[in-house]
Amino acid sequence: MPLAFSSRSHGTVAFGFFNIATDLLLLEDRFCFCSDFCLAVARLAQGASAEGTSEPLAGWGIRDPSRMGNLHGAIAGTDLSGLIGATYRLWPFPQEASAFKQDPGGAGTREQVEGLLQTHALPVDLRPNLTVPTGDTSLGGIDFSAEAFGQLIAYVGGGGMPGWKGGRPAPSVLQMMRELDGIRAPWPGASGSGSRRAR
């Protein structure tokens, strides 16, 4: 479930997983795969220099709101329109509350999800840019303080609002967290686990 996070450029923004069976992340009207996000973040931290750095991150954007869909309607099964509805048509919200956990194997649905993205969205560059030494970071043109971006990373590390199924993160998330733990990451709280709403 996406949560509200504070940005410096766009006020409060929605970020997070929106279907437990996929590893697709939503940032307002933009999307990227969690595995790609984790790789970009780890490389961004490792490549930080006095001048700052950026890393490629391919994403998808929706310009027509009707192509987005309705998250709450999709969860309820009453509105399966747009990209969000299409994902819930393939992977409905679980009937048992105990099954509402983020699947660490969500990357296995990537090929199917890419097909949905090609129907509903357009490719966009979500390249994250890190400012040194402040740690301020932009993602897809949305600017975050170091603390706020650390909260985005911690959200992903914890498996979003429901947490990871079985308590074990996806392999790409584990790898990112290991790499951030091994260096002095520029984002406070990025190594912490668990999802939390930004203040």
Neighbours of 148 (CB within 10 A): 23
- What tens digit of pLDDT does each residue of 125-177 get? 999 999 878 889 999 999 999 999 999 999 999 999 999 999 999 999 999 99
Q: Residue 48: pLDDT above 70?
A: no
CA torsion, ordered 106, 47, 50, 129, to nearest 10 deg: -30
Q: Residue 199: pLDDT above 60?
A: no
Do 124 and 59 touch, CB atoms closer than 8 A?
Answer: yes
Residue 193: pLDDT band with limits 50, 70, 90 = very low
Which residue range(s) make up the domain with 7? 3-181
- Is 187 part of any domain? no
The mean of the pLDDT values for the chain is 90
| Planar angle of CA 128, 105, 141, nearest 5 degrees | 15
Residue 197: pLDDT band with limits 50, 70, 90 = very low
pTM here is: 0.90
- Is 172 part of any domain? yes
- Is 146 part of any domain? yes
- Is 199 part of any domain? no
- What tens digit of pLDDT does each residue of 3-33 get? 999 999 999 999 999 999 999 999 999 999 9
Q: Residue 119: pLDDT above 50?
A: yes
Do 110 and 90 touch, CB atoms closer than 8 A?
Answer: no
- Is 190 part of any domain? no
- Number of structural domains (the chain) is 1
- Is 140 part of any domain? yes
- Is 66 part of any domain? yes
- Is 154 part of any domain? yes
